[in-house]
Amino acid sequence: MTAPGLFTTHVPGTSVVHRMPLWPKLAGVVVVGLLPWFVSSPWPLALVTAALAGVVVVAQLPVRRLLRSMRGLAPVIVVLLAFQWWSTGLPYAVRVVLGIVNAFVAAGVLTATTPVTDLLDGAVRAARPARRFVDPEVVALTLGIVVRSVPWVLGSFSAVRESARARGLERDPRAVVVPTVVHVVGYARATGEALTARGLTDPAEDA
Q: What is the CB neighbour count within 10 angstroms for residue 117?
A: 11
| Gap between the Cα atoms of 52 and 33, Å rounded | 13
Residue 80 contacts by C-beta under 8 Å, 6 or more apart in sequence?
Answer: 93, 96, 97, 100
| Gap between the Cα atoms of 175 and 185, Å rounded | 16
pTM of the predicted structure, to 2 decimals? 0.68
**pLDDT of the chain, 207 residues: tens digit per residue:** 444 555 556 788 889 998 998 889 988 988 998 999 899 889 999 999 999 999 999 998 888 877 777 776 787 888 888 998 998 899 999 999 999 999 888 888 888 888 877 877 777 777 777 777 766 666 666 666 665 666 666 666 667 777 877 877 767 777 777 777 777 777 677 766 766 665 655 544 444
CB 105 within 8 A of CB 152: no
Q: Which of these, 62, 39, 167, lies nearest to 109 by C-alpha position? A: 62
| Gap between the Cα atoms of 136 and 50, Å rounded | 37
Q: Which of these, 112, 108, 110, lies nearest to 100 by C-alpha position? A: 108
**pLDDT at residue 142, as a whole number:** 65
**pLDDT at residue 207, as a whole number:** 43
**pLDDT at residue 86, as a whole number:** 93
**pLDDT at residue 47, as a whole number:** 95
For the chain, helix, strand, coil in percent to 5 are 80, 0, 20
Q: Which of these, 140, 92, 93, 114, lies nearest to 29 by C-alpha position? A: 114
Residue 72 identity:
G
Query: What is the H or E stretch that residue 104 is in?
Result: helix 90-113
**pLDDT at residue 31, as a whole number:** 92
Give CA angle at 33 (28, 36), nearest 5°.
125
